[in-house]
Amino acid sequence: MQLITLHLPQTYLEDIEELVKDRIYPNRSELIRVAVRDLLKSELWNRKAPKD
């Protein structure tokens, strides 16, 4: 895996911390990986979807 630096608004970070605190995700890195993965899947799926 590659290491990147990410700048987020304070409110995003607070929400991320809440999800980690509530044990929805084990840590911030995993939450961000899942969020990026889901966004990429969604965007790429929409792009590759057959057009009517």
Which amino acid belongs to residue 52? D
pLDDT at 52: 63
Tell me what pLDDT residue 33 has: 98
Question: Tokens for 35?
Answer: 């969020």
Q: Write the DSSP symbol of residue 51.
A: P
What confidence score (pLDDT) does residue 25 get?
98
Angle between helices 28-48 and 10-21 (to 10 degrees): 110
The mean per-residue pLDDT over the stretch 36-49 comes to 88
Q: What is the pLDDT of residue 51?
A: 66
Determine the average pLDDT of the residues in 10-38. 98
User: Taking a C-beta distance cutoff of 8 angstroms, is the pair 32, 5 a contact?
Assistant: no
Judge whether residue 19 has pLDDT over 80.
yes
Does the pLDDT at position 11 exceed 70? yes
CA 33 to chain centre: 5
6 token code pair: 């990410």
pTM (2 decimals)? 0.80
